[in-house]
């Protein structure tokens, strides 16, 4: 059974995402801020991390993605960013994975349709 870590400060959204993933047969762990998420990733060694961008501050998730990528114990764990920052900040551009600046497998805009999220999760887990 694949293990997924959700790092999301909105508890209701974390719970809903957890329920969706568990209904598909995944084991799910949750953390509600970047520091807790980073420690959970080191401790639990999940197969995938779903990481919110805007938590305590606007770029917390991006910082955690970089931290996970720099740590030899967590660098091989794929990360999917879940973000509503584009809509909230009215940004005219999207975020794209980048080896240095944004070391993630995918970026999914919130609110994400369940089918899209599940498809992205499956793709990231395949490698």
Instruction: Render each residue's pLDDT in the chain as its tens digit; 127 residues.
Output: 999 999 999 999 999 999 999 999 999 999 999 999 999 999 999 999 999 988 877 678 889 999 999 999 999 999 999 886 555 445 444 556 567 656 789 989 888 899 999 999 999 999 7
**Domains recognised in the chain with CATH numbers:** 3-92 (3.40.50.2300)
pTM of the entire predicted model: 0.88
Spatial neighbors of 104 by CB under 8 A, at least 6 apart, are 51, 65, 78, 79, 80, 81, 97
């Amino acid at each position: 059974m694949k293990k997924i870590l959700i790092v999301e400060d909105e508890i209701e959204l974390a719970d809903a995402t957890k329920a969706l993933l568990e209904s598909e047969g995944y084991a799910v762990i949750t953390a509600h801020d970047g520091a807790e998420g980073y420690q959970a990733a080191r401790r639990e060694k999940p197969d995938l991390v779903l990481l919110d961008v805007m938590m305590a501050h606007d770029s917390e998730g991006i910082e955690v993605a970089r931290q996970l990528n720099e740590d030899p114990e967590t660098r091989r764990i794929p990360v999917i960013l879940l973000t509503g920052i584009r809509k909230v900040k009215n940004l005219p551009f999207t975020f794209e994975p980048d080896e240095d600046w944004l070391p993630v497998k995918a970026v999914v805009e919130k609110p994400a349709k369940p089918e899209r999220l599940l498809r992205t999760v499956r793709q990231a887990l395949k490698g």
